[in-house]
Amino acid sequence: MEEGFGENTVEKFNKYACACAIVASMISIIFGYDTGVMSGAMIFIKEDLKINDVEVEVLAGILNICALFGSLAAGRTSDYIGRRYTIVLASVIFLLGAVLMGYGPNYPVLLTGRCIAGIGVGFALMIAPVYSAEISSPASRGFLTSLPELCISLGILTGYVSNYLFGKLSLELGWRLMLGVAALPSIALALGILRMPESPRWLVMQGRLGEAKEILLQVSNSAEEAGVRFRDIKVAAGIDENCNDVVLAKVPNNSRGRGVWRELILKPTPAVRWILIAAIGIHFFEHATGIEAVVLYSPRIFKKAGVTSKDKLLLATVGVGLTKTTFILTATFLLDRVGRRRLLLTSTGGMVVALSGLGFCLTMVEHSKETLLWALGLSIVSVYVFVAFFSIGLGPITWVYSSEIFPLRLRAQGMSLGVAVNRVMNATISMTFISIYEAITIGGAFFMFSGIAVLAWLFFYFFLPETKGRSLEEMEMVFSRSRSPQNVEVEIQPKNNVQ
């Protein structure tokens, strides 16, 4: 045990670490709100600004193109200024974007505000799960690291409700209020985040061992666990595990992120190569399976299914948000009990069935000259079932898994690369969905997503080992090429001295 740590205490859930993760995850509420509110706001924007479908697709997808650049910049930024101040920076960027969108006198200004908000999205998506993973213990990491995804779904739900409420106002005022109110939580978060501690792993990379030790005592379940975590972090950073200096003049591993891309891409070890493939793959399939088409274009999908009233369209969309939030909340309690891998495979299998059902129902509606009430009902049910299966597995696990598998020295920039892939796919689906379903029918589009979901299930089965119960410093061992994912799942059990 490390000097300065007390004897083992009674293990309990650490409320301080949970509070820190909740505050950090609140930035994801702002992003989720911006995504959800745009689905309904686009109906009013198109009518008010007289824009065409191509401009609607650009408005929907440009946020994710800009988020690509934001996420790539966020990794290096968080290595340089720290995880906490990166969250503050993301809040300020969100604030500027929300103000511009709320003002929005014309399409170019609206698009500029959306671009600025997109950069904030890139920062938020990368930093919130990394911060949560780095302050949490192995026993609760799945729960705490899934909070950003839960907050995204809460934000989406709030956005849908905002659509319904502000949609009753005048055309010119309604959609501007929908977009502009996101500025208020951005200010509150930027101030609140300053009271949170810095990531102890980032502090160790800076050589600030005394501060890291104090924070680990606060966020660990016991003094013994804090000692074990402190020792493992020092070893991962290339520092002698017996070193107890308060501040180190020089840290062996580079703390400013230089040379990371060489280790990640140019000359990775077999374990790091596998980790990178796993992270990029799970981020790719999260959006390639069609969730953005459902979340962003759900009013159009319900309209295609036969719902005609604008109020009913927005209410049905609120149901999507409620389903997403409920099942992500359920997932947060299952991740550390059931495990990532089993939940992920179950989730993806359910998505295949739901997408196939939705594709069939929409095809029947499209080829029928009469109103098919059974197909309308099953289409709505299929959408909700798809969102439920996505939200209980693939949605939260993407962020939990990718934020925990990279080694300490590669985590921030490795995660930023995964987020960049995520945003590329999100933008691709957002900006092409209308064109795709016009080319191959809307039913055909969802059959396509179902086929991609089958490929996703196979990828997860063969490439993603179980990580439940392992410390962040053990992940390179977990991703040894000499083991198959199935064997890793059987062999990995929580370590009593860490839990």
Q: For position 257, what pLDDT does the model report?
A: 52
* Average pLDDT over every residue of 150-164: 83
**Alpha helices, H only, 241-339:** 260-261, 270-288, 291-305, 310-338
Q: For position 276, what pLDDT does the model report?
A: 92
Q: Which residues contact 217 (CB under 8 A, 6 or more apart)?
A: 5, 223, 226
CATH number of 253-479: 1.20.1250.20
- Residue at 395: amino acid letter: G
Question: What separation, in Å, do the N-terminal and C-terminal C-alpha atoms of the chain show?
Answer: 15
Q: Which of 80-94, 137-151, 244-258 has the lowest mean pLDDT?
A: 244-258
pLDDT band at residue 11 using 50, 70 and 90 as cut-offs: very low
- Residue at 138: amino acid letter: P
Q: For position 279, what pLDDT does the model report?
A: 93
How many whole angstroms separate alpha carbon 325 and alpha carbon 319?
A: 10
Q: For position 489, what pLDDT does the model report?
A: 46
How many whole angstroms separate alpha carbon 446 and alpha carbon 457?
A: 16
| Neighbour tally for 370: CB within 10 Å | 6
Q: Which of 33-47, 433-447, 451-465, 469-483 has the lowest mean pLDDT?
A: 469-483
Q: For position 1, what pLDDT does the model report?
A: 38
What percent of the chain stands above pLDDT 90? 15
333: pLDDT strictly greater than 90: no
Q: For position 75, what pLDDT does the model report?
A: 81
Residues of the chain with CATH 1.20.1250.20: 12-199, 253-479
pTM, rounded to two decimals? 0.74
Structure tokens at 204: 């160790």
3-state secondary structure 440-472: HCHHHHHHHHHHHHHHHHHHHHHHCCCCCCCCH
pLDDT band at residue 481 using 50, 70 and 90 as cut-offs: low
pLDDT band at residue 498 using 50, 70 and 90 as cut-offs: very low
Q: For position 5, what pLDDT does the model report?
A: 43
pLDDT band at residue 185 using 50, 70 and 90 as cut-offs: confident
Residue whose token pair is 């399939």:
285
Q: Using DSSP, how many helices (H) and how many strands (E) does the chain show?
A: 22, 0
Residue whose token pair is 């921030």:
412
288: pLDDT strictly greater than 90: yes
Q: Please return the burial class of 342, using the count of CB atoms within 10 Å of its CB with bins 0-12, 13-18 and 19+.
A: middle
Structure tokens at 427: 């933008």
CATH architecture assigned to 12-199: Up-down Bundle (1.20)
487: pLDDT strictly greater than 70: no
Round the average pLDDT of the chain to a whole number and report it.
82
How many whole angstroms separate alpha carbon 314 and alpha carbon 37?
A: 11
How many whole angstroms separate alpha carbon 139 and alpha carbon 498?
A: 8
Q: Which of 27, 235, 18 is nearest to 137 (CA)?
A: 18
How many whole angstroms separate alpha carbon 465 and alpha carbon 492?
A: 9
Report whether 363 contacts 443 (CB < 8 A). yes
349: pLDDT strictly greater than 50: yes
